[in-house]
Amino acid sequence: MNWLHFFRNKQEEAPATAPQAKERLQIVLAHERISRKGEDFLPKLQREIVELVARHVSIDPERVNVSLERGGDLSTLAIAVELPGPEPARRVS
């Protein structure tokens, strides 16, 4: 360890966190500004998807899982609908 390293140590220990704060804010605010204008579309979207799926197979609305990951350029909305499995095979006694 040389002298320079020794004195720089303090800074390396604590990397600046402000840039992270800025990036997080930019992303979350970009999304909020959009949703401020319109109505909250997610509940409606979910309802319509559930209705659509339910038209074809019977599903339990409890088993619908919606997850979202907001990103800067790209957000992913994942809707997992648990479909009923095939009838359990009957055991032949």
Which amino acid, 10? K
Nearest approach, Cβ of residue 57 and other proteins (Å): 19
Q: Name the DSSP class of 19.
A: H
The distance of Cα 10 from the centroid of its chain, to the nearest Å, equals 36
For 64, residues 6+ apart whose C-beta sits below 8 A from its C-beta are 46, 49, 50, 79, 80, 81, 82
Q: x/- site string to other proteins, residues 8 to 47, per CB under 8 A?
A: --x---x--xx-xx--x--xx---x--xx---x-xx--xx
Nearest approach, Cβ of residue 91 and other proteins (Å): 33
Binding site for other proteins (CB under 8 A): 10, 14, 17-18, 20-21, 24, 27-28, 32, 35-36, 40, 42-43, 46-47, 61-62, 64-71
